[in-house]
Amino acid sequence: MNPGKIVVENPVQRKTGEDDSLGVGLENIRQRYSHLSGADVEIVNGPELFQIKLPLIYADHHR
């Protein structure tokens, strides 16, 4: 359980082609969370499971 966070996870599916991800989407999420709340996004890229843990952003920013 991760209080104060939303956790999104998916099983890792390695790409078979030569196209690698540029990671632009993950960097975009990191920058937006940093700008909006100063909170860090946690990314866990394990051998079988990929997780991203997003801190909750409250409307009043005082929690």
Confidence band, pLDDT 50/70/90 cuts, at residue 62: low
Each residue's pLDDT tens digit, 9-50:
999 987 777 666 777 888 999 999 888 888 899 999 999 999
- Residue type for position 37: S
Q: What is the pLDDT of residue 18?
A: 67
For the whole prediction, is pTM greater than 0.85? Answer: no
Q: Which two tokens stand for residue 23?
A: 């990671």
- Tokens 């998916």 appear where? 10
Rounded Cα distance between 36 and 2, Å, is 20
